[in-house]
Structure 1
Amino acid sequence: MTQPHNPPSQNLAALKEWDAQCQLLTTGRVSVLLRKGGIMETHDGFEVEHRQFLLYPTFLHQNAAELQADYTELLRPDPTPGQIVLPALAEVVAVQKVESLEAALRLEPLQALTAGAIERRFHYRNRPWIHALLLRVRPLSAPLTLTETPDLLGCVSWVPLGEMRVEVGEAVIPENELQARRQELEQVLRA
């Protein structure tokens, strides 16, 4: 039996994403997340503001019409109102800025959003691009439960959590499969 991966105490943030998407990532059904916000440009290219972060499932703005039909069964009411249950630690393996709508739409089979949702996010705020993030996801040994406070709510991508240590298990996708998904992502974007 493999031992849990125990990173040292670190200053962590959580990324807000639809609960259905968090479920898909934490079960390994998908490894690609499409994002508009939470990305910054550096001299080395485009970077996620945090390379490691906790997944923060949100029920706000989940939209069945923007989720592929195969995944709509994951939509549910908040099972713990007043609390936020953070299920996993995600690590960014790759970031791809996609500046062609045609290329963005080719990503549909690799992630959970519909073509219409991809197009809407692509054009959001009249900035025609989107980022595809490939994530390595490790479930927390015990989900981290936080009481909802005003600091944790609101329409922001990132929620700073401060210094903490989390115990995580093995990645939900074996490394060879994750690298195969990375190659697939790169091939789809080159097509």
Structure 2
Amino acid sequence: MTQSHNPPSQQISALKEWDAQCQLLTAGRLSLLLRKGGIMETHDGFEVEHRRFLLYPTFLHQNAAELQPAYLSLLRPDPAPGQIVLPALAEVVAVQKVESLAAALRLEPLQALNAGAIERRFHYRNRPWIHALLLRVRPLSVPLTLTETPDLLGCVSWVPLGDVQMEMGEALVAEDELQARRAELEHLLRA
């Protein structure tokens, strides 16, 4: 008799992010997100609420006017209405609080938002800063598909999922390339 292998359950949350950005992250094309929400201040500085999380592609607030032209072709209608398909696990490699608009705008080539969107997020709620999150992304062997329920919807950054079974593949971006992206991020922030 053969024994089947089930991946272990893990307590996990998901971070809502535009579908186009999730596509870029899960293809390994980009590793950086610029975020205003989902960050908290601790005595050691600024931290993402969860260091490991599933990417939760959202369609509701995607805005073609805020994406760089090179990524407009990624905009699409929800391919699975009534379901949420979580494609990958992200691990935070670095978090930088960016308090200079000029520095935030220098990050435009490393992520999907255009300069106008970066500026709007930077000034959102009259708090002039933004966070840059460098992520290591691992695709799930089988994407996690959930039925859309009211507790999964709404304008929140984080969705607690509780215990889920998932099995991930190798990181989409090789470690040396990820470290090169980190060095480029740090260089642009110092420039």
Please, what TM-score do these two structures have when normalized by structure 2?
0.95
Counterpart residue number, 2:62: 62
Counterpart residue number, 2:48: 48
| Counterpart residue identity of residue 149, structure 1 | T
Q: How far off its partner does 1:163 sit? A: 1.5
Q: How far off its partner does 1:164 sit? A: 2.0
Counterpart residue number, 1:176: 176
Deviations 1:58-101 (A, max 9, x none): 00110011000000000000000000000000000000000000
| Counterpart residue identity of residue 143, structure 2 | P
Q: Secondary structure at the match of 1:116?
A: helix
Q: For the residues of structure 2 that align with 1:165 and 1:50, how far apart are their CA atoms?
A: 18
Q: For the residues of structure 1 that align with 2:120 and 2:106, how far apart are their CA atoms?
A: 15
Residues 86 and 45 (structure 1 numbering): CA distance in 2 closer, same or farther, change over 3 Å? same
Q: Secondary structure at the match of 1:93?
A: strand
Q: Secondary structure at the match of 1:97?
A: strand
| Counterpart residue identity of residue 99, structure 2 | E
> Does 1:26 find its partner at 2:21?
no
Q: Secondary structure at the match of 1:118?
A: helix
Bigger drift between 20-29 and 161-170 goes to 161-170
Q: How far off its partner does 1:168 sit? A: 0.2
> Identity across aligned pairs (percent)?
85
Unaligned 5+ segments in structure 2 are: 1-5
Counterpart residue number, 1:94: 94
Counterpart residue number, 2:141: 141
| Counterpart residue identity of residue 44, structure 1 | D
Deviations 1:98-148 (A, max 9, x none): 000000000000000000000000000000000000000000000000000
Q: Secondary structure at the match of 2:161?
A: strand
1:116-131 matches, cutoff 5 A: 116-131=116-131
Q: Secondary structure at the match of 2:50?
A: coil
Q: For the residues of structure 1 that align with 2:122 and 2:21, how far apart are their CA atoms?
A: 18
Please tell me the root mean square deviation across aligned C-alpha atoms, in Å. 1.1
> Does 1:76 find its partner at 2:91?
no
Q: How far off its partner does 1:9 sit? A: 2.9
> Does 1:16 find its partner at 2:16?
yes
> Does 1:37 find its partner at 2:37?
yes
Q: How far off its partner does 1:8 sit? A: 4.8
Please, what TM-score do these two structures have when normalized by structure 1?
0.95
Counterpart residue number, 1:3: none
Counterpart residue number, 2:157: 157
